[in-house]
Amino acid sequence: MTTVGDIYDAIDAFAPFDKARPTDNCGVTLGSRGQPVRRAFAVVDVTRAIVREAAAKGVDLILSHHPAIYAPVRSIAAEDPVYEAARHGIALLAAHTNLDVAGGGVNDVYLAAIGLEKLAAVEGTDGCAALARCPESLSTLSVLAERVRDCAGLPCVRLVDSGRKIKTAAVCCGGGASFFECAVKSGADVFISGDFRHNHAADALRLGISLIDAGHYETERLILDPLIARLGRLFPDVAFERAETDRPIFQYAV
């Protein structure tokens, strides 16, 4: 019988948990390593809707990208997804920045989907951002933005156009705005990430680097299907699947 610990160890083999950023809270955040797993969800966030779906379907483990417990917790209310998961005996396991930086992890899957060639990690980002070469077919911002939009499954993306031809891109899945200065120093022509603020847009225009904001959730969810396939091969006795209720928290009115 496969256990939570078995799945943790399997992830640790290709996305070592000790490679997570120091402030991250990866690993088993609820339950025990010895807990049996017959059915598991792979999701981006742990929400009440997902926990309720998991309970209704007899799911034993929710494997999330974002940790359900992140900052120091002083109390857990009945409305908290962690409370509901505990009440139903559902274990929680998070693979966050360790999966971002892993070979074949979140960033690599996203780069491949867009059609960019990874060159190196962006200095100062602990591997969370990559510098990539853009093919000639994606050398204009409008065309690259359309590709990013389509990969993210979005109706639109936000842009800052510096007017430069796109030869290299700094790419950070999720919220990479804190690495803005690192992206600028890398010499990239465009920085593709999510969660940019107005000041980043103004600075980008002033410094001559383009921005593509494709959302936080949308740039990370592409890892779920490859992760499910990989774990499914390792543990054929476990049904790994997406949750029907796993959807972006931000919605678009178009």
Q: What is the pLDDT of residues 148-191, one digit of tens each?
A: 999 999 999 999 999 999 999 999 999 999 999 999 999 999 99
Quick one: 205 and 116 in the same domain? yes
Residue 36 bridge partners (DSSP): 3
Residue 84 lies in a domain: yes
pLDDT at 72: 84
Cite the DSSP H helix spans in the chain: 4-14, 48-56, 81-87, 97-101, 106-114, 141-152, 180-185, 198-207, 217-220, 224-234
For residue 127, what pLDDT is reported? Answer: 94
Say what the pLDDT of residue 254 is. Answer: 77
Nearest CA among 64, 58, 90, 219 for reference residue 154 = 219
The predicted pLDDT at position 252 comes to 85
Q: Are residues 215 and 123 in the same domain?
A: yes
Judge if 62 and 140 occupy the same domain.
no
The reported pTM is: 0.95
Q: What pLDDT is attached to residue 73?
A: 86
Answer whether residue 209 is part of any domain: yes
* CB contact at 8 A, 5 and 33: yes
DSSP code for 225: H
Cα 21 from Cα 32, distance rounded (Å) = 23
Residue 83 within any structural domain of the chain: yes
CATH number, residue 184:
3.40.1390.30
Ranges of the chain whose pLDDT falls below 70: none
How many CB atoms sit inside 10 A of residue 178's CB?
A: 14
Look at residue 206 in the predicted model and tell me its pLDDT: 97
Number of domains making up the chain = 2
Is 246 a member of any domain?
Answer: no
Its domain, for residue 197, covers: 103-219
Quote the pLDDT of residue 154.
93
- According to the model, what pLDDT value does residue 253 have? 85
Residue that is written with structure tokens 């797993």 in the block: 37
